[in-house]
Copies of this chain bind each other. A is one copy, B any other.
Amino acid sequence: MVDHYGQPWFTKSMKKSDFEKQKNASLSHQLIKAGRLINKRGLAAAQKSFHLPELKQSHLDLFPYIDFAGTGISEIAKRKGVSKQSVSKLVKEMVHMKILFLKVDPEDNRSKRVFFKTSGSFAIQKGLKDLMSFDCLLKAHFGEKSYTSVLKKVSDIVDIFQAENQN
């Protein structure tokens, strides 16, 4: 029995020597751990590749909510479940870092659509390579077939959760 945070739970009868055995016994726990480590690595890689020491997790957290086709600030805020004011600040910083750019919506002059900046001085291609490198490493370790199988299973887990969170 292991909790979700890295340390085995225990009962009074549980001996200390059971620790190591149980350490890796929980998939939930290992998934949390893997996620954190990858996240940490991803942030470090992004900072290094883009030469943007100011890039923070909070900025990266915005990525999933920005569409290829451009997204309004209010829309991003709604999707993320936070106020548009806080999104506005983060976006401003990312525009400054040349990760994003803004363009007034011709359909609605109030709305500024947010876009990824894919050219210019912000060399997204180089950063991309680094960000991808861990997946390559995993593929090399597991082999293409095994990689795909684990991916499928982890994806199922994500689906289970997302279904569960619908309520």
Query: Which of B7, B19, B37 is A161 in contact with, Cβ under 8 Å?
Result: B37
Let me know if A158 and B30 touch, CB within 8 A: yes
Let me know if B9 and A28 touch, CB within 8 A: no
Query: Which of B1, B4, B9 is A42 in contact with, Cβ under 8 Å?
Result: B4
Give the copy number: 2
Contact flags A1-18 to B (C-beta < 8 A → 1, else 0): 101111111111010100
Let me know if B19 and A158 touch, CB within 8 A: no
Chain B contacts for A28, CB-based, 8 A: 38, 42, 134-135, 138
The answer to whether the Cβ of A26 comes within 8 Å of any Cβ in the partner chain is yes
Taking the nearest CB of chain B, how far is it from the CB of A16, in angstroms? Answer: 5
The answer to whether the Cβ of A125 comes within 8 Å of any Cβ in the partner chain is yes
Chain B contacts for A131, CB-based, 8 A: 3-4, 9
Taking the nearest CB of chain B, how far is it from the CB of A2, in angstroms? Answer: 8
Let me know if A137 and B150 touch, CB within 8 A: no
Chain B contacts for A32, CB-based, 8 A: 35, 38-39, 42
Q: How far is the CA of A24 from the CA of B16 in the complex (A)?
A: 40
The answer to whether the Cβ of A86 comes within 8 Å of any Cβ in the partner chain is no
Q: In chain A between 130 and 167, which residues have their CB closer than 8 angstroms to a CB of chain B?
A: 131-132, 134-135, 137-138, 141-142, 146-147, 150-151, 153-158, 160-162, 164-165
